[in-house]
Structure 1
Amino acid sequence: MSVIVAGKLYVDPQDRDRFIEGHHPIVEAARGRPGCLDLSISPDPIEPGRVNNFEHWESQEALDAFRAVAPRPSVSVAITGDQVLKHEISHTEPPFD
């Protein structure tokens, strides 16, 4: 069963670019790991302090294996709010016929 971790984080708008850049090593490492189908930490185009997080893993085991060796962010930026959830996916199909 594949796993998606997705949601939004909030940081001070002045720190958002530094936050994203500080997570670049994590994104790069994850994308090189077996079982990572996609991972992105990106700025929201509308809200200045919002960071969008999206992770798609082949399985919970693949996610756990990455988290056991994942690098730490290279910066320390306070997260002022978040709404990130993990979803277990039992079925996937194209969104349009």
Structure 2
Amino acid sequence: MVIVAGHIVVEPQQRESYLADCVSVVKQARLAPGCLDFAITADLVDAARIDIFERWESRAAVEAFRGSGPSDEQSAAMLEASVAEYDVADVRSLT
């Protein structure tokens, strides 16, 4: 399993429009082969922060979906980004 997690920072007044532009990406990802979870959400305490969380069956599934990454408009809106990919060796359910 692969987890992609982190956050991006945009101007607070641009966050809602940035998230609105991500709706189609989230829908596409959740339908993609190997996608177990995919979320791009507003942070609850920082008006400029957008949290990223993805869970995939494999690195191949991530790469097949990822393509070229964010659009030019989305890349231009990002003031900062800190997103990493993690290879998961073991999982323990908490529910």
Question: Structure 2 length normalisation: TM-score?
Answer: 0.89
User: Which residue is 2:23 aligned to?
Assistant: 24
Counterparts of 1:43 and 1:36 in 2: how far apart (Å)? 21
> Which one has the bigger helix percentage?
2
Counterparts of 1:63 and 1:36 in 2: how far apart (Å)? 8
| Structure 2 runs not aligned, ≥5 long | none
| Structure 1 runs not aligned, ≥5 long | none
Counterparts of 2:24 and 2:72 in 1: how far apart (Å)? 8
What is the Cα deviation at residue 34 of structure 1? 1.2
User: Which residue is 1:54 aligned to?
Assistant: 53
What is the Cα deviation at residue 74 of structure 1? 9.3
Name the % identity.
33
2:88 partner amino acid: I
Aligned residue pairs total 94
Counterparts of 2:37 and 2:46 in 1: how far apart (Å)? 23
2:17 partner amino acid: R
Structure 1 residues 73 and 20: alpha-carbon distance in aligned structure 2, compared to 1, 3 A threshold? farther
User: Which residue is 1:83 aligned to?
Assistant: 82
Structure 1 residues 91 and 44: alpha-carbon distance in aligned structure 2, compared to 1, 3 A threshold? same
Alignment of 1:64-79 (within 5 A): 64-68=63-67, 73=71, 76=74, 78-79=77-78
Counterparts of 1:36 and 1:73 in 2: how far apart (Å)? 20
User: Which residue is 1:40 aligned to?
Assistant: 39
Deviation string, structure 1 residues 22-69 (Cα, Å, up to 9, x no partner): 011110000001100000000001000000000000000111111238
What is the Cα deviation at residue 83 of structure 1? 1.1
